[in-house]
Amino acid sequence: ELWISLEEHQDALELIMSKYRKQMLQLLQGRKGEDAEPVLKVHQANSLEIESQIDRICEMGEVMRKAMQVDDDQFFKVQEKLAQLELENKELRELLSISKESFEVGREDLPD
């Protein structure tokens, strides 16, 4: 769910940036070249900032993916251990049952 949310966030950022670039291009085309330079610099600075934020989001997504993998591995280890203990419990109960039966048979064979 987190990964899907992250991808949706990235898609939203890309959409916002494409609209921003389109508006900036229209703005730049409407102005003279001299007026456009400061706006272009601001646009480049904003683009770099957004790129760094996207990189951070990707890093967080990778960390989340690794954490999920560790959790899954731990869950499978616990499940495997539980299955082993259930099997051992079953076998021990069978042995106990056999032991009880042999004890009762031995008891019946003894004279009072």
Cβ neighbours of residue 43 closer than 8 Å, sequence gap 6 or more? 20, 21, 24
pTM of the full structure:
0.45
Going from N- to C-terminal start, the domains of the chain cover: 1-25+43-106
Residues in the chain: 112
pLDDT digits (tens, 9 = 90+) for 29-87: 776 555 657 767 888 888 888 888 898 898 998 999 999 999 999 999 999 999 999 99
Q: Please give the full DSSP string across 40-83, using - where no structure is assigned.
A: HHHHHHHHHHHHHHHHHHHHHHHHHHHHHHHHHHHHHHHHHHHH
CA distance 74 to 3: 20
Give the pLDDT of residue 34.
Answer: 56
